[in-house]
């Protein structure tokens, strides 16, 4: 028996490695319409996130039929793509950021907060700024904040400035890997803020870029006061030629604004990382497809094999979130590449691949294994919802960023609905969940 692995190709059944785990594959993941095994709802094999799927099929996806070298939507994160600027779709926030960088290069000190949902390009922008500053010979401190631990986050920032083996203030912060001398009792916000400013001022051009700051916002208010007072000390007297930029979700920014208005008011710009417009979604798909187009096989339709109607529907389903748009297009293109009868992907074909479940079993079977923790909580602990991603992050003890992204992917698949910042099962499934206990009783 042979299974197809989206990344590595055909793999004999007996040679699967230890990373694979048993997983029920939902119908819309069985990309080839004529499945060899009629018992589609039995156990298939799949690898872990991000959707590295294995499924039994007669034909692997043949992207060359569409004049493509590979599926251009497989890599979702900007961190895994070289020359990301070639496929970046410029939006209004980008021109404001470019203007700010130009002023910083002339010696200005500018602070920016970039607010937007996960998957809307905040990380891509901050990493791009980091590379730009370094290419100009400056010092860029880019940190993805992945926990609510203010001690770890503070030490991670100062690690950028710590020469190995050199004693001094910075060397006193850490005793060893994950062992900190700095603690909440000796955390001197004023001293730390001053030291941060002094270290950044050693460079004529510098940038402090703190990404995913929503993760730290679930720390206690007492801890946050210490951390943000350090940042306030820094932002209040930034050295010349310095860019300070913070990126976070709307929920994280609202809490920041509520707790620390004196800090937030010091930002020169408050920018929004918006969702894609219809034109921007088509442009994103065009650039991705162009990057993987076989040489000399340019099509009259620049988004071939897609009809624009499919891209617009994907963008509507994803509510303009670029990451989720890419996820949908990835799944649908793989499906089409496995079916020799499909020569154009339109909105009707996309709808046939991604559809609403018709039973509780099908609903559960559609949930990827790495997303089942939040789905199980919503269905069992919260009776189908609604519940906020912050609450689910506390329950699962996972970073809010990670939980939010899982929920948004489930929304894009039609497995959850989002209303006013809270998540719940779709109405049809709620009815099925209510009927299930009655069926068990009878």
Q: How many CB atoms lie within 10 A of CB 435?
A: 11
Report how far residue 303's alpha carbon sits from residue 314's, in angstroms, rounded to the nearest whole number: 14
Confidence of residue 356 (pLDDT cuts 50, 70, 90): low
Name every residue whose Cβ is closer than 8 Å to that of residue 223 and which is 6 or more positions away in sequence.
Answer: 148, 150, 184
CB 37 within 8 A of CB 276: no
Lowest mean pLDDT among 52-61, 108-117, 343-352: 52-61
CB 24 within 8 A of CB 43: yes
Report how far residue 44's alpha carbon sits from residue 42's, in angstroms, rounded to the nearest whole number: 6
- The tens digit of pLDDT for each residue in 92-106 reads 888 899 999 999 999
- Mean pLDDT, rounded, for 212-234: 93
Q: Identify the bridge partners of residue 206 per DSSP, sorted by sequence position.
A: 139, 242
Burial 337-354 (b: 16+ CB within 10 A, else e): bbbeebeebbbebbeebb
Name which of 376, 333, 321, 132 is nearest 245 in CA terms: 132
CB 332 within 8 A of CB 310: yes
Report how far residue 306's alpha carbon sits from residue 286's, in angstroms, rounded to the nearest whole number: 10
- Tell me if residue 194 falls in helix, strand or coil: helix
**What tokens appear for 173 in the block?**
């912060």
- Mean pLDDT, rounded, for 378-384: 81
Q: Do domains 90-272 and 356-442 have the same CATH topology?
A: no
Which one-letter DSSP state was computed for residue 14? Answer: G
Name which of 98, 99, 103, 111 is nearest 208 in CA terms: 111
- Mean pLDDT, rounded, for 154-164: 80
Instruction: Please give the CATH topology (third level) of the domain spanning 90-272.
Output: Rossmann fold (3.40.50)
Q: Which residue has the tokens 């992204």?
A: 405
Confidence of residue 45 (pLDDT cuts 50, 70, 90): very low
Confidence of residue 17 (pLDDT cuts 50, 70, 90): very low
**What tokens appear for 126 in the block?**
């901050």
Single pTM value for the model: 0.65
Name which of 205, 59, 212, 218 is nearest 136 in CA terms: 205
What per-residue confidence (pLDDT) applies to 37?
31
Which sequence spans correspond to the domains of the chain?
1-60, 63-76+276-341, 90-272, 356-442
- Mean pLDDT, rounded, for 113-120: 88
CA-atom Rg of the chain in angstroms: 24
More confident residue, 381 or 268: 268
Domain 356-442 CATH assignment equals 1.10.10.10: yes
CB 220 within 8 A of CB 152: no
More confident residue, 27 or 309: 309
Report how far residue 103's alpha carbon sits from residue 109's, in angstroms, rounded to the nearest whole number: 8
Name every residue whose Cβ is closer than 8 Å to that of residue 102 and which is 6 or more positions away in sequence.
Answer: none
Which one-letter DSSP state was computed for residue 320? Answer: T
- Mean pLDDT, rounded, for 394-420: 81
CB 314 within 8 A of CB 284: no
Q: Would you call the peptide bond into 305 cis, given omega within 30 degrees of 0 as the criterion? A: yes
Name which of 365, 370, 392, 380 is nearest 425 in CA terms: 380
- Residues across the chain: 442
**Angle (deg, nearest 10), helices 150-158 and 189-200:** 30
């Amino acid at each position: 028996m042979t299974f197809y692995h989206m990344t590595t190709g055909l793999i004999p059944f007996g040679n699967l490695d230890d990373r694979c785990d048993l997983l029920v594959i939902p119908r819309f993941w069985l990309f080839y319409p004529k499945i060899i095994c009629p018992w589609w709802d039995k156990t298939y094999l799949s690898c872990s996130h991000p959707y590295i799927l294995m499924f039994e099929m007669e034909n692997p996806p043949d992207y060359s039929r569409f004049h493509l070298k590979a599926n251009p939507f497989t890599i979702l994160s900007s961190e895994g793509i070289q020359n990301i600027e070639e496929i970046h779709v410029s939006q209004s926030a980008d021109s404001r950021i470019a203007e700010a960088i130009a002023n910083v290069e002339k010696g200005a000190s500018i602070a920016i907060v970039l607010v937007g949902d996960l998957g809307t390009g905040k990380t891509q922008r901050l990493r791009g700024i980091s590379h730009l500053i370094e290419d100009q010979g400056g010092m860029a401190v880019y940190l993805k904040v992945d926990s609510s631990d203010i001690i770890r986050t503070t030490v991670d920032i100062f690690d950028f400035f710590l020469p190995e083996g050199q004693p001094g203030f910075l060397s006193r912060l850490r005793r060893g890997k994950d062992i900190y001398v700095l603690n909440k009792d000796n955390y001197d916000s004023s001293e730390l803020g001053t030291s941060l400013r002094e270290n950044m001022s050693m460079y004529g051009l510098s940038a402090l870029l703190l990404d995913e700051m929503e993760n730290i916002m679930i720390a206690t208010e007492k801890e946050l006061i210490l951390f943000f007072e350090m940042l306030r000390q820094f932002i209040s007297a930034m050295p010349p030629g310095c860019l300070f930029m913070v990126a976070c979700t709307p929920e994280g920014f609202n809490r920041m604004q509520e707790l620390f208005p004196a800090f937030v008011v010091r930002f020169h710009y408050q920018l929004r990382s918006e969702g894609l417009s219809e034109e921007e979604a088509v442009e994103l798909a065009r650039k991705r497809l162009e990057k993987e187009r076989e040489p000399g096989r340019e099509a009259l339709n620049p988004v071939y094999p897609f009809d624009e109607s499919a891209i617009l529907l994907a963008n509507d389903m994803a509510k303009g979130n670029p990451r989720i748009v890419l996820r949908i297009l990835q799944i649908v293109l793989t499906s089409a590449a496995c079916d020799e009868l499909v020569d154009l992907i339109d909105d009707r074909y996309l709808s046939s691949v991604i559809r609403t479940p018709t039973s509780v079993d099908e609903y559960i079977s559609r949930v990827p294994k790495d997303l089942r923790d939040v789905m199980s909580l919503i269905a069992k602990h919260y009776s189908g919802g609604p519940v906020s991603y912050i609450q689910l992050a506390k329950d699962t003890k996972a970073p809010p960023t990670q939980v939010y992204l899982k929920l948004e992917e489930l929304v894009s698949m039609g497995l959850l609905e989002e209303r006013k910042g809270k998540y719940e099962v779709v109405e049809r499934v709620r009815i099925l969940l209510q009927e299930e206990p009655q069926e068990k009783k009878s």
